[in-house]
Structure 1
Amino acid sequence: MGSIMTDSTIFSYRYLAVVNMITLGTELCSSAAFSYLPPLLLEAGFSESGMSTVMAMGPFMALFLLPVMGTSSDRCQSRFGRRRPYIAFLSIGIILSLTLLPNTKAITAYFTPYFPEKQFGLVLLAACVILLDFCSQVCYTPIESLLSDPCKTETQRNRSFGIFSLMMSLGACLGYWVVSVDWNNTLLGYYFGGQERTLFNLLLILFTLSFLISTYFAYDPPLLDAVPKDIAEATTANARPTVNGNAALKTANGKAMTTVPMPILATSKALPFRIASKISVKNVCSSLFSYIPTCSPKIDFSPIVDTLEGIRTMPKAMKTLWIAHLTTSTAVMGFRLYFTDYMGESIFSGNPDALDGSPVKRAYEEGIRMGSFGLLLHSIISAVFSLAIGAVITTWGAVRTYIFGMALFTLATFIMLFMDGIVFTLLLASLTGFANATITTVPYTLLTGYHQKKELYYQDSNDADAHGKGADLALLDSAYILSEVISSFAFGVIVEITKTTGAYIACSFACGLASCFLVLRIK
């Protein structure tokens, strides 16, 4: 990639596609696993409310930890960069959960002499689902920060997050396709031992490859090599002494360390993430946990305090964007989480609690595969729109583009409430892909624009510099994650009360309608 990283290199389509391989892999796991896991939890013995509670636990945990991780990544002093250590740590969590999920029955059988089989199996399955959900949701924040860090112009923002949205859509396409295929009658199914094991082994292989490729080639200079503005944002929360007139950072032991602003340059040796020769468990852990309280009488709660302060002092422009992003994401997230269950029970009249091999159980399984195909169409439309969304934003503006996506989503879910034909439902599901492309692109381009014009958008903030880019992206992602908590728990409770999975679509429509009005308030 050359000895010097210039803007033309960093914002080339080839580089952005390679770096966003981790985006593709993470969305691949999220899409495949979370269209397959709700039915899996129901079949394992969870009730609708129990299943929704398990699905909500991962994002609920992420909701509290995500802003802390965003703030600490802004200040991370690892020689591997500010963002890549966090991506690596969370990716390991995803790999671990994908390894355990298809083996929960074997692990349960091994521990049966020591624990009640059914209870232990349910707890283990729930723990694996929560780990996968938590890591896959939180992993997006350091990826978004990695893309946002070098952006200076609107064109660069639109291109970076347009490719981000495209790779998310392609990952979703691949994930939903993997779920929709009947692997039992294939060579891979015979080799891995059935549908479930084939599915999770494919996810494990594809995600691991995407993780290694992205982290190897991603350009993520250490904090001392970042541009001066980023250094200022990352260190505002610390008391910054000076050494010989230069700004100094505080190290973990409290000593001052001089920072010398450098241009964004990198040799070919510094560019790759040389896992085999450079990385070690000690280095990664020290960079990740330098802000976690140690076992001493003086416990440092500064990351949590800084996070709460960041939420309290959130500028008005960002508060408006945060609320709109919460509502739009709740609508789309609820639809994506439960569309397969809706197809299996409402459209195909199946029953997940029926005996294996019975007609209603086969109907439910066929509905799950057909629902995954509908979400595949949803993701294809999202991917196609992502290719053009940068030009659409330039022509229409960010807010109008946002409204366009959510208006189509609201119309599609409204019609779906009254039309239950299989083909027509799948066509309506494809239209919701426009909304998915907008919620994964527009909010982040807007926030990056806010940071480039803080004097305009953050003028009501007492200390605009206290809002680092990584911290604010984490706060924006917390809205996305909170939307999963709401849609996972509240939608499931409503379905249990109404006794119909059609309530999933009704809830998505209601949130979509509300979001159209909230988006209009965005600056």
Structure 2
Amino acid sequence: MVPLKSNQTVMGGEEEEREASGPPEKRKPKEEAEESESEKEIEEEGKGMRIPLHRWVMHGAVMFGREFCYAMETALVTPVLLQIGLPEQYYSLTWFLSPILGLLFHPLIGSASDRCTLRWGRRRPFILALCVGVLLGVALFLNGSLIGLSIGDSPSSQPIGIVLTVLGVVVLDFCADASEGPIRAYLLDVADTEEQDMALNIHAFSAGLGGAVGYMLGGLDWTGTALGQAFKSQEQVLFLFAASSSLSLSHCTCSVSLNDLSRHPISLKSQKVGSLPASCLSGPLATCHLYLM
């Protein structure tokens, strides 16, 4: 009988607590219906509005510039190194340095991009910085011999030109390889699941087109043209093409394509519509995700 009394006491205490706390609040059916209707309207609006195709083209423009510089380097690195007199046993060392640096620093760049809190976004600052690095590498790679001759090299011996050219190749390779991670992450940050296939196809097409144009322009003889007469050498003409494409296309991607917000996507069902910030319901990214401030 004693356990029975203790059980009764416990049950009685629970009943008293329920009475003191009062009955659970019940939401009115009308309020629930209004919230569900507003959620459906916003979901339908997000599905109906799509990011325009020209914005995806600008978003993938940086891949064109990246592969353009890559193709030009691949086509010209051997003739340039032969021209300045680099010994053959050091050719493999030129290609060996960039992967080693990438193995050490690419994970650090990706981690820093994930944790970036700049107002410009997580990815675009790194994309722009690496594009500037690509441009610097192209400048050293194509003009290392001229810079060395202006500093103190002689046509028969160009040690400064060799160092600058090899440094340009390493910087170009490293920055071009490192930029692929932020570019892909930038795409996934702004693309909805249904739009990722189209965005990836545009990126692949831009990369292939940039490589084809880079090989084509690198294989043409520009010395007899007006550009060749104005810039005095084949390498300077190609640097003009590389610099203009890299700067303009990286500007398209980083400035006028899509906003990159360092926020995490959330579902409409996990938040009340009234509690979402106004910035979540406007702007180009409203068609892709709603973001938590």
Q: Could you tell me the TM-score, scaled by structure 1's length? A: 0.41
The code of the aligned residue for 2:181 comes to T
* Whole-angstrom distance in 2 between the partners of 1:195 and 1:9: 48
Residues 23, 132 of structure 1: CA spacing in aligned structure 2 closer, same or farther, 3 A cutoff?
same
Q: Which structure would you say has the larger Rg? A: 2
Residue of structure 1 aligned with 2:204, choices 145, 160, 165: 165
Alignment partner, residue 66 of structure 1: 106
How many pairs does the alignment contain? Answer: 232
* Whole-angstrom distance in 2 between the partners of 1:205 and 1:167: 16
Matched, 1:147 2:195: no
Matched, 1:207 2:242: no
Residues 7, 98 of structure 1: CA spacing in aligned structure 2 closer, same or farther, 3 A cutoff?
farther
Equivalent position SS for 2:223:
helix
Residues 11, 166 of structure 1: CA spacing in aligned structure 2 closer, same or farther, 3 A cutoff?
farther
Equivalent position SS for 2:122:
coil
The answer to whether the 8 A contact 2:143-2:165 is kept is: no
Alignment partner, residue 260 of structure 2: 221
The answer to whether the 8 A contact 1:70-1:141 is kept is: yes
Equivalent position SS for 1:79:
coil
Question: Unaligned 5+ residue runs, structure 1?
Answer: 230-259, 272-523
For the aligned residue pairs, the C-alpha RMSD in angstroms reads 2.9
* Whole-angstrom distance in 2 between the partners of 1:29 and 1:90: 13
Equivalent position SS for 1:174:
helix
* Whole-angstrom distance in 1 between the partners of 2:140 and 2:94: 17
* Whole-angstrom distance in 2 between the partners of 1:119 and 1:63: 28
Question: Unaligned 5+ residue runs, structure 2?
Answer: 1-44, 268-275, 287-293
Residue of structure 1 aligned with 2:120, choices 80, 89, 103: 80
The code of the aligned residue for 1:79 comes to R
CA deviations on 1:91-149 (whole Å, 9 max, x unpaired) are 11122223333332232123328xx9532221111111111111111111111111112
Matched, 1:41 2:81: yes
Residues 265, 58 of structure 1: CA spacing in aligned structure 2 closer, same or farther, 3 A cutoff?
farther
Q: Could you tell me the percent identity over the aligned residues? A: 26
Alignment partner, residue 130 of structure 2: 90
Residues 9, 185 of structure 1: CA spacing in aligned structure 2 closer, same or farther, 3 A cutoff?
farther
- Mapping 1:102-121, distance limit 5 Å: 102-112=142-152, 118-121=158-161
Q: Could you tell me the TM-score, scaled by structure 2's length? A: 0.70
- Mapping 1:468-487, distance limit 5 Å: none
Equivalent position SS for 1:66:
helix
- Mapping 1:337-486, distance limit 5 Å: none
* Whole-angstrom distance in 1 between the partners of 2:183 and 2:132: 15
Q: Identify the structure with bigger relative contact order (alpha carbons < 8 Å, sequence gap 6+).
A: 2
* Whole-angstrom distance in 1 between the partners of 2:49 and 2:256: 12
Deviation at 1:6, TM superposition (A): 5.3
Deviation at 1:46, TM superposition (A): 2.7
Equivalent position SS for 2:190:
coil
Residues 222, 6 of structure 1: CA spacing in aligned structure 2 closer, same or farther, 3 A cutoff?
same
Alignment partner, residue 156 of structure 1: 195
